[in-house]
Structure 1
Amino acid sequence: MLAIYTRLSREDEDSNSIKNQLNEGILFAKAKGFTEYQIYNEGEGVSGGLQIDERPELKKLIDDIVSGKITAVWFRNQNRLERNSFTFHTFVKVIKTAKIDVYFGDKLNDYNDANTFLQSSIISALNQYNKELQGQQTKKVLKQRAIEGKAHGIMAYGYTKDEHGYLVIDEEESKVVKRIYKMSLEGIGTNKIAELLNKDDIPTRYKSKYKGTYKVKHKFNGTKKVKEKSNVTWKGGTIRNILLNTIYYGKRNFSGDLYDVPNIISEAYWQKVNNNLKNNRNNSGQSVKHNYLLRGKIICGKCESNYYGRTRVNKKDNYYMCSSKRYKDKNCGNRSINIDVIEDFIWQRFFADEVLKDKIIEHFSNTNAEEDIKGIQADLKALEKELIKNSERQRKAVSLVLDGVLTNDAVKYELDKLKKEASAIKINIENRKEHISSLENIEVISSNMITELDEVKKKTSFDEKKILIDKYIDKIEINTHRIDKTKGYFTLLIYYKQILEGCEGYYLDFPRYDYAIEMYNEIIVPLSDEYKSKSKDELDMIVMQVYSQMGRTKVITSYDEETDTEQYYWESEEKGITEYYRKNEDDKD
């Protein structure tokens, strides 16, 4: 049986089309009297420089030769077989052992003949040379286009090209890019963002601008599927690639080098989103038994590692635990906390009980926007001056290399350090600008936030809760304080996002989880049915007892004899807590 092998690479001309190769191979079979033939079509876009294992049809052909199924092979020419000398010599070894005929066009090649083998070896070496030379030339042209800011190939989503071939921003797609970054910063994971875009009928690039079909290759078995471009929807992986791509802050990556292009977002905003990206990781792969409401929010106050959720259907394991416990030699010893208890407490206390809403109303009522803006603008000017100095230092370092005073290696460490510092300064500048913008629109923002939180009790789904928590809660820091071997208290510091500052602090008893006590103003939140039934006097006594156990000392700052009232704060031995709460006391005074 005759084997007809066809292949077309991206660089080939139209005359080398698969259709033309097939027609020539079938005519050859009829002319030579082959009554049976089998086609091995590698398809389009497959490089002759690939290894045999990366070319499924060539591998299948070799297997059929070894098994005795194939007695002769036809290729249009030698470069259809390979542009890789290793592939050539491997193939020749197989056909010499199997003693089969090999045709390039109409010519029979006898590889047992020394001259034929030598000539074919030279052609193989030239094929590989031409492939590598062509690759270098192509890369050179593409690099020059990147330097000039011109488009090539499929452009990143959010970009198009003008009539001169230059890369420019696609106004409609750029709105979607900004929305993707905004949702990610709000704590929405990549899979969920894709789901929301699909739900809103936002078309992908394929769906909106391309027609026809495309092929998808299975990364393990090499099989290909044909799909309609009009059916392409958003996927989590696509969203993640958009979030990671530096092109969106104006730096196009080509072969490891960055080239300037029009930016859709600022570098500082891009960095801020990417710093937050690890907190938004979606569950994927195997079916998830539990959705963790506080995933990415809880950090260990002892070793600063993340807490991660672990649960089973039977609730035998049902807790957030410090990730240091995964490694025996790194276990910091901080206690794990029950998932249901901490999730229910955070949701009920801050959202359902409207503590967060009250905090927002108090914050805005005490905010002097005009004075705050002046202070932030002063900070902004200082940061901008610092950025100018940083840029000047980078320029001087580069000049020393160009002038031959120092080598690249000598200044590389300092340049990397300066670039990191510049990135941090830009993020701080972006944060200050956002804060100023928020203060300038304080009435609208406060109204929107309060309205949103007014709707909380209507929001019951996990996804809606998750979005709100990610939007308003920055992090929850957990520490453990033991009273004896089995009992003690968690200290919970809940830090806010948005334009709110500071945190709320609570003591949460373990192992019973009966109550949580606010660290500052003597508020106790009963959690168990037993403690919900206790009287106010009983609960007040528990507060004083816990404050005493936790080393809190009542410090009186003033006393009014006429009204028999006193001003005071609770001093704590714990790092950072007293300073924060005393500041609150000063603000209230």
Structure 2
Amino acid sequence: MLQTIKKNISVIPTVPAHVAEGSQQSKLLRVAAYCRVSTLQEQQESSYEAQVNHYREKIQNHPGWKLAGIYADDGKSATSTKKRLDFQAMIEDCMAGKIDMVLTKSISRFARNTVDALTNIRKLKEKNIPVIFEKESINTMEGSGELLLTILSSQAQEESRNISENCHWGIVRKFEEGKVMVNHSRFLGYTKDKDGNLVIVPEEAQLVRRIYKLYLEGNSSYRIKRILEAEGIPTVTGKKTWSATTIDRMLSNEKYMGDALQQKTYTVDFLTKKKVKNNGIVPQYYIENDHEAIIPKELFYRVQEEKARRAAIYKPAVKRKNGLQKGKYSGKYVLSNLLYCGECGQPYRRQVWSKYGVKQAVWRCDNRLKNGKKRCKYSPTLKEKTLHTAIMTAINSVAEDQGR
């Protein structure tokens, strides 16, 4: 018969990873705090500075803690952590072993996005770094911490959705009342007065009028961009480089003739804040004569007609096996878009021929240039010098008739 031996069991207490032998300073928990406020109301009730001072005093006055840093994002959205630079820096410092514990006021301060909250908290748990949410009394290293966190962060996310919908509802009511909402800090030609109304900036308005004039004189948006850059004229934000796309949008912006179309874009996801062009998905609001015009309505509509005329040149003209060949607008020359082929109807383009070192400008059918005689067999090549002579003869003839 085997003799039963009594087992002696000893419990070895846990030793936090941050505690090292021999140094009293190393036994202190390196504690960081994260603060955030995002609205004016919050700044009045619990200001950014108040949160920072509160945590600095709390950590410094605790005998077992050492301040590892105060990370604070002022005026940053909680629905996504991507734009919160201090938050990202805090997570990186935690991963680098510089922080042992994180304090924050509440889940809504940390993140209103459930996925972001849980993802970052789990990353910290892998490093044995707890996050303490003071308002909810949650320690993420405790067993029930993640369950409570999931429930409460879902509630915070729903709260964020409600806030977003309420803000949008308020904005739409303003649209219905005829109130225009514009980011005037990047709006060439206008600023806002103390009542929030658009008012003209004379120097900038002069530039806007010049851009419209240059366009009607035959210049493309890209050529206008080159002209402004060559003259060293800065953009509304002070940059030296202009965007042809921005100039093209200016030429279609109804606000320059005193009207305002609201809700041109809309937000498809309150978490990502992604905006897309409104193609009739949500209502739009058109407000006539909202503010003083820089461009007269007649001139504005002339520009729209010219844009439509030029856009027609970009329409597919010739089908090819690999797709559609498109034309190209150029207003660089006097005869651009004035000469059209009598056989196929496509515009003529200017070409420079060189023979025996002598250059000669000619005009040829765009269709024939691209496809040869297969598409346009009989279109003639016209010498530019001959065309100019014929035009001047016609002009002089008219002038003589009027002078009689």
Smaller-chain TM-score range? 0.5 to 0.7
Alignment: residue pair count: 307
SS of equivalent to 1:49: coil
Q: Which of these residues, 266, 270, 286, is aligned with residue 259 of structure 1?
A: 286
Report the residue type matching 1:183 in the other structure. Answer: L
Q: Which of these residues, 229, 238, 249, is aligned with residue 195 of structure 1?
A: 229
CA distance in 2 between partners of 1:117 and 1:517 (Å): 77
Please state how far the C-alpha of 1:259 moved relative to its aligned partner: 1.9
Report the residue type matching 2:334 in the other structure. Answer: Y
Partner of 1:179: 210
User: Residues 63 and 277 from structure 1, CA distance in 2 versus in 1: closer, same or farther, beyond 3 angstroms?
Assistant: farther
Report the residue type matching 1:247 in the other structure. Answer: K
1:130 aligns with 2:153: no
CA distance in 2 between partners of 1:83 and 1:517 (Å): 66
1:101 aligns with 2:105: no
1:44 aligns with 2:50: no
List runs of 5+ in structure 2 lacking aligned partners: 1-29, 266-277, 279-283, 342-346, 364-376, 399-404
Partner of 2:119: 90
Do the aligned partners of 2:121 and 2:131 also contact (CA within 8 Å) in 1? no
User: Residues 258 and 150 from structure 1, CA distance in 2 versus in 1: closer, same or farther, beyond 3 angstroms?
Assistant: closer
Please state how far the C-alpha of 1:13 moved relative to its aligned partner: 2.3
User: Residues 170 and 510 from structure 1, CA distance in 2 versus in 1: closer, same or farther, beyond 3 angstroms?
Assistant: closer
The superposition leaves residues 8-56 of structure 1 with CA deviations (integer Å, 9 ceiling, x where unpaired) of 3246522444322221221121122322412333x33321101x44444
1:242 aligns with 2:250: yes
User: Residues 165 and 185 from structure 1, CA distance in 2 versus in 1: closer, same or farther, beyond 3 angstroms?
Assistant: same
The superposition leaves residues 377-406 of structure 1 with CA deviations (integer Å, 9 ceiling, x where unpaired) of xxxxxxxxxxxxxxxxxxxxxxxxxxxxxx
RMSD: 4.9
Partner of 2:105: 76
CA distance in 2 between partners of 1:32 and 1:131 (Å): 34
List runs of 5+ in structure 1 lacking aligned partners: 207-231, 279-298, 306-323, 333-466, 480-491, 496-505, 520-571
Report the residue type matching 2:157 in the other structure. Answer: Q
Q: TM-score, normalised by structure 2?
A: 0.58
SS of equivalent to 2:50: helix
User: Residues 39 and 331 from structure 1, CA distance in 2 versus in 1: closer, same or farther, beyond 3 angstroms?
Assistant: same
CA distance in 1 between partners of 2:361 and 2:97 (Å): 81
Please state how far the C-alpha of 1:75 moved relative to its aligned partner: 1.6
Higher relative contact order (CA 8 A, sep 6+): 2
Report the residue type matching 1:470 in the other structure. Answer: K
Report the residue type matching 1:474 in the other structure. Answer: S
Please state how far the C-alpha of 1:84 moved relative to its aligned partner: 0.9
Report the residue type matching 1:271 in the other structure. Answer: Q
Q: Which of these residues, 329, 334, 350, is aligned with residue 472 of structure 1?
A: 334
SS of equivalent to 2:70: strand
CA distance in 2 between partners of 1:135 and 1:518 (Å): 61
For structure 1, which segment, 3-12 or 141-150, has the greater mean C-alpha deviation from structure 2 after superposition? 3-12
SS of equivalent to 2:336: strand
User: Residues 25 and 190 from structure 1, CA distance in 2 versus in 1: closer, same or farther, beyond 3 angstroms?
Assistant: farther
Pairing of 1:152-163 with structure 2 (within 5 A): 152=181, 154-155=183-184, 156-161=187-192
CA distance in 2 between partners of 1:91 and 1:47 (Å): 17
Q: Which of these residues, 30, 38, 42, is aligned with residue 60 of structure 2?
A: 30
User: Residues 67 and 509 from structure 1, CA distance in 2 versus in 1: closer, same or farther, beyond 3 angstroms?
Assistant: closer
CA distance in 2 between partners of 1:17 and 1:277 (Å): 55
User: Residues 275 and 236 from structure 1, CA distance in 2 versus in 1: closer, same or farther, beyond 3 angstroms?
Assistant: farther
Please state how far the C-alpha of 1:178 moved relative to its aligned partner: 1.6
User: Residues 70 and 277 from structure 1, CA distance in 2 versus in 1: closer, same or farther, beyond 3 angstroms?
Assistant: farther
Partner of 1:389: none
Q: TM-score, normalised by structure 1?
A: 0.42
User: Which structure has greater helix proportion?
Assistant: 1
Partner of 2:14: none
1:3 aligns with 2:32: yes
Please state how far the C-alpha of 1:117 moved relative to its aligned partner: 3.9
1:13 aligns with 2:52: no
1:269 aligns with 2:294: no
